[in-house]
Structure 1
Amino acid sequence: MANNRVSFYNLAWRWHFYAGLFVIPFMIMLSVTGGIYLFKPQLDNLLYSDLMSVQPGSQALSADQQLERLRQAYPHAAVSQYLPPTDVDRSAQFVATLDGRKQNVFVDPYSGKILGVQDAENNLQAISRSLHGTLLIGTLGDRLIELAAGWAIVLVVSGLYLWWPRGQAVRGVFWPRLASRGRLFWRDLHAVTGFWGSLLLLFMLLTGMTWTGYWGESFAAVWNRFPAAMWNEVPKSGLQARTLNSATDQTVAWAVENTPLPVSDPHAAHKGHVTQEDAPSASQVSLRQVVDTARERGVLPGYSITWPADATGVFTIAVFANDPRNDATLHIDQYSGRVLADIRWKDYGIVARSVEMGVVLHEGKFFGLANQLLMFGVCLLILLSAASGLVMWWKRRPQGSLGVPPLRHDLPLWKTAVMIMIGLGIVFPLVGMSLLAVWALDWLVLSRIGASKAIAR
């Protein structure tokens, strides 16, 4: 049994070390970018108040009039989205392509004055969000983030096993021995921080995983379903609503990402009295009509209106609310103004509701500043745990080497931990495949190198 104890502890120790080695750079990046995104409202007000704040007037211009002012200033702009003012002292915002670049154009809704232009993909929040989700390198970055988040879960589980109390005093287990110095101080700081932050960290990791491109999409495909009857009378395209989201911006909520995008009928506005050749000239409903539909349907301020992507596309009204019970996603025929789909909280299943609630908590939106500060505290815990782990490793590393620190052999075999690791590998396939690869590398190469050195000595 002694050999088994040493063997399993050896494996847990190495897994924890390898996971930390891979995860720490990602977790530092995620904590910093996540902390920035947590305080998006405050930072936006601080950095862009000249673009976002206006002096309230007696009468606001209609959405069509605001759009006309933009087109007068930028005749060649390709407008793709409109965000109405969220309050009486807020500007309206259009997203448009100008000279090949996606730009946010801010308009005073009372005077129609263009307040300024902001690069939609090259500002603090857009860069932070894209780094947080894709490392600015698209699909590859998304997979690396997913792998790092999965390994972070392994790190938490293996860390709890290594921390698990085994008869020692509560000091150093539930709170650090602050009077200690050197490696012992850093060990306590790392272990105790990891323990108290483990549940919150697991919450952050699991809610973040739902947005990943591989596991998140697979999870949504299995659990995030709507009654098929909702789409019986709706002409559907081959696209899903997730195509409206991007690395730098979120338009629709996670719960509706895998729902079909409807198509518009070019004949609808002419009651069928046009030929297919005439279809491209069919009249599009005005932006004001779409805004009126949002108001009539009770969509709360904070929503966006996304333009049809082509002649068969639809207008999409979407609000990803701070309180997901106020979420709304409406698709509107661009020719007739008919509401083709109207998806709300009441239509979400239990899993979708749980995920949406988790996501807004993750993003610090649900209960205001207190939620932001709680999640920011988790970011600080992650940074502290990462820094203390690096210091502790540096102090315990083999002399003259950057390898795994020496083992202690005083831990009992915890078979449950093995089953948890296997379970994590099954639930998160990318983690499972990398676990097998690391185990094979450890067994075939690294452990044998260590044994050879021990024999040589």
Structure 2
Amino acid sequence: MSQPKVSFYNLAWRWHFYAGLFVAPFMVMLSLTGIIYLFKPQLDQLMYSHLLQVPAGHHILSADEQLLRVQAAYPQGHVKQYLPPLEAGRSAQFVVQKEGGELNVFVDPYHGTILGEQDAKNNLQAIARAIHGELMIGTLGDRLVELAAGWGIVLVVSGLYLWWPRGKSSAGVLWPRLGSRGRVLWRDLHAVVGFWGAAFLLLMLLSGMTWTGFWGKQYAELWNRFPAAMWNDVPKSDQQAGELNTASRQTVPWAMENTPMPMSGDHAEHMAHGAAHEGPAAPVISLQQVQDIATQRQVEAGYSITLPTTASGVFTIAVFANDPRNDATLHVDQYTGKVLADVRWEQYSNVARATEVGVMLHEGKMFGPFNQILVLLICLMILLSAVSGLVIWWKRRPQGRLGVPPLRHDLPKWKTAMAIMLALAVAFPLVGASLVAVWLLDRLLLSRWNRSAESASSSS
């Protein structure tokens, strides 16, 4: 009866090794970039207070007056987005596209003075976010991060099996044997930290995967549904709201990413027939009118206004709130000022609500400093687990060859294990494809290499 347990233990160790070797560098990278982005509010204040803080005045210039000042300062630029002051004593921000790049331009809303600019994609927070999401290499990076996160889930599942006490004492299981030295201490740190952090790591991995381009997109299309009637009386474009988001900048909430963007001026007299998509934007309503709509509809401070870029485009008011219950996404006709869509937390499905909460917990924004400290501790646990795992492997690695533990030839098929691996492969297709690839590699190359190395060492 003990044979299957021993054999499956060997198999679990083997898969844990493969997953750990691949995932560990990604976990270190995700933890470090995550910590940087986690403390964005504090780091921004520390690094850019001269751009963010202004002496509070009595009268704020209109959004249109501020826009004119920015357009005068950047005549070759195109204003893409406006972020009103978060509170008194804070600057306003415009996102300006210029010569293929993007600038964050900060304005004193009381005097109209240009405070300075920042490369929108080449600053600490934007770089950290872009590395965290796609390694700054686009789609390939996104798929690699998704693959690492999926394998991270395999790592947690196999790690819990390996951790399971099997009659051992609590020492080395629930707490590390700090009096030990060498590999035993590193093994205890790895196992104990992995156990206590397992649930948190799963939450971080699953909530993070909702943003990925392959699994996240399928997840959103499956669960992120709104009643079709919401868009019945609204002229829709073939553009989705998610296109307003980039690797370095978040505009609309996750729940809105796969919703259609409405069109402006479908029946406006000044629109030429058949020219709905042609020509640049020429809004009739002012930027201040759009800001007034946000105020009237009680959109929480911290929202952005994305300007239309085409004759059929819309103004988009969006806030990705720290408390998802305050999320808001409004699309406004650029000619009439009519609100074509106004979507809030109340319209989200239960799955979308749970996902938004998970994302805000992941980003450390849900409960203020407490949430930040909790996520920091999780990141430090992940770092310790990854580093200790690599140290264990380094100390145990066979000399002169890859440190893959040998697989028993009499390994029985373990039904529950097979079912778990099959479920993971189906739930995460990139993981499933890589599992097949690694299994073939292990069967065709590594096992033979290890066996020949073992026989050579025994004969000598």
Same fold (TM over 0.5): yes
CA contact (8 A) 1:142 1:212 kept: yes
Gap change, CA 1:193 and 1:414, over 3 Å in 2: farther
Map 1:189-268; keep pairs closer than 5 Å: 189-265=189-265, 267-268=267-268
Report the alpha carbon displacement of residue 260 of structure 1 after superposing the two structures with TM. 0.3
Who is 2:175 aligned against? 175
| Whole-angstrom distance in 2 between the partners of 1:317 and 1:282 | 18
| Whole-angstrom distance in 2 between the partners of 1:144 and 1:64 | 43
Gap change, CA 1:2 and 1:167, over 3 Å in 2: closer
Gap change, CA 1:243 and 1:291, over 3 Å in 2: same
Who is 1:423 aligned against? 423
Report the alpha carbon displacement of residue 439 of structure 1 after superposing the two structures with TM. 1.2
| Whole-angstrom distance in 2 between the partners of 1:97 and 1:395 | 52
Gap change, CA 1:12 and 1:273, over 3 Å in 2: closer
Who is 1:326 aligned against? 326
| Whole-angstrom distance in 1 between the partners of 2:88 and 2:309 | 30
| Whole-angstrom distance in 2 between the partners of 1:204 and 1:401 | 34
| Whole-angstrom distance in 2 between the partners of 1:283 and 1:423 | 51
CA contact (8 A) 1:360 1:366 kept: yes
Amino acid at match of 1:223: W
Map 1:51-90; keep pairs closer than 5 Å: 51-90=51-90
Who is 2:352 aligned against? 352
Gap change, CA 1:407 and 1:390, over 3 Å in 2: farther
| Whole-angstrom distance in 1 between the partners of 2:266 and 2:64 | 21
CA contact (8 A) 1:393 1:405 kept: no
Amino acid at match of 1:82: Y
Gap change, CA 1:113 and 1:282, over 3 Å in 2: closer
Gap change, CA 1:387 and 1:64, over 3 Å in 2: same
Aligned-partner SS, 1:48: helix
Report the alpha carbon displacement of residue 75 of structure 1 after superposing the two structures with TM. 1.7
Map 1:117-136; keep pairs closer than 5 Å: 117-136=117-136
Once the two structures are superposed, residues 106-154 of structure 1 have per-residue CA deviations (whole angstroms, 9 ceiling, x without a partner) of 0000000000000000000000000000100001100000000000100
Aligned-partner SS, 1:261: strand
Who is 2:384 aligned against? 384
| Whole-angstrom distance in 2 between the partners of 1:8 and 1:282 | 67
Amino acid at match of 2:428: F
Gap change, CA 1:450 and 1:350, over 3 Å in 2: same
| Whole-angstrom distance in 2 between the partners of 1:199 and 1:412 | 30
Aligned-partner SS, 1:103: strand
Report the alpha carbon displacement of residue 52 of structure 1 after superposing the two structures with TM. 0.3
Who is 1:93 aligned against? 93
Is it true that 1:20 corresponds to 2:20 in the alignment? yes
Report the alpha carbon displacement of residue 73 of structure 1 after superposing the two structures with TM. 1.6
Gap change, CA 1:265 and 1:392, over 3 Å in 2: same
Is it true that 1:285 corresponds to 2:285 in the alignment? yes
Report the alpha carbon displacement of residue 454 of structure 1 after superposing the two structures with TM. 3.3
Consecutive unaligned residues in structure 1, runs of 5 or more? none
Who is 1:31 aligned against? 31
Gap change, CA 1:307 and 1:274, over 3 Å in 2: closer
Report the alpha carbon displacement of residue 450 of structure 1 after superposing the two structures with TM. 2.1
Who is 1:305 aligned against? 305
| Whole-angstrom distance in 2 between the partners of 1:332 and 1:241 | 13
Once the two structures are superposed, residues 182-209 of structure 1 have per-residue CA deviations (whole angstroms, 9 ceiling, x without a partner) of 1100000100010000000000000000
Once the two structures are superposed, residues 301-334 of structure 1 have per-residue CA deviations (whole angstroms, 9 ceiling, x without a partner) of 1000001121111110000000000000000111
Gap change, CA 1:149 and 1:262, over 3 Å in 2: same
Report the alpha carbon displacement of residue 2 of structure 1 after superposing the two structures with TM. 6.0
Who is 1:148 aligned against? 148
CA contact (8 A) 1:5 1:413 kept: no
CA contact (8 A) 2:183 2:392 kept: yes
Aligned-partner SS, 2:329: strand
Gap change, CA 1:47 and 1:412, over 3 Å in 2: farther
Report the alpha carbon displacement of residue 423 of structure 1 after superposing the two structures with TM. 0.9
Report the alpha carbon displacement of residue 421 of structure 1 after superposing the two structures with TM. 1.8
Report the alpha carbon displacement of residue 422 of structure 1 after superposing the two structures with TM. 1.6
Who is 1:113 aligned against? 113
CA contact (8 A) 2:235 2:266 kept: no
Once the two structures are superposed, residues 354-406 of structure 1 have per-residue CA deviations (whole angstroms, 9 ceiling, x without a partner) of 00000001000010000000001010001000111111111111133342256
Once the two structures are superposed, residues 227-251 of structure 1 have per-residue CA deviations (whole angstroms, 9 ceiling, x without a partner) of 0000000100011111000000010
Gap change, CA 1:263 and 1:278, over 3 Å in 2: closer
Pick which of 29-38 and 259-268 moved more: 259-268
Report the alpha carbon displacement of residue 62 of structure 1 after superposing the two structures with TM. 0.6
Residue identity over aligned pairs, in percent, reads 67
CA contact (8 A) 2:28 2:382 kept: yes
CA contact (8 A) 2:406 2:447 kept: no
CA contact (8 A) 2:107 2:115 kept: yes
Aligned-partner SS, 1:189: helix
CA contact (8 A) 2:307 2:314 kept: yes
CA contact (8 A) 2:7 2:412 kept: no
Report the alpha carbon displacement of residue 449 of structure 1 after superposing the two structures with TM. 2.3
Aligned-partner SS, 2:26: helix
CA contact (8 A) 2:64 2:287 kept: yes
Pick which of 383-392 and 418-427 moved more: 418-427
CA contact (8 A) 2:36 2:128 kept: yes
Report the alpha carbon displacement of residue 418 of structure 1 after superposing the two structures with TM. 3.1
Is it true that 1:336 corresponds to 2:321 in the alignment? no
CA contact (8 A) 2:13 2:405 kept: no
CA contact (8 A) 2:255 2:348 kept: yes
| Whole-angstrom distance in 2 between the partners of 1:177 and 1:297 | 58
Aligned-partner SS, 1:10: helix
Aligned-partner SS, 1:85: coil
Amino acid at match of 2:138: G
Q: How many residues align?
A: 453
| Whole-angstrom distance in 1 between the partners of 2:108 and 2:400 | 64
Report the alpha carbon displacement of residue 6 of structure 1 after superposing the two structures with TM. 4.6
Gap change, CA 1:38 and 1:290, over 3 Å in 2: same
Gap change, CA 1:165 and 1:412, over 3 Å in 2: farther
Who is 1:41 aligned against? 41
| Whole-angstrom distance in 2 between the partners of 1:408 and 1:391 | 25
**TM-score where L is the length of structure 1:** 0.95
Gap change, CA 1:283 and 1:148, over 3 Å in 2: closer
Is it true that 1:138 corresponds to 2:138 in the alignment? yes
Consecutive unaligned residues in structure 2, runs of 5 or more? none
| Whole-angstrom distance in 2 between the partners of 1:414 and 1:231 | 50
CA contact (8 A) 1:60 1:109 kept: yes
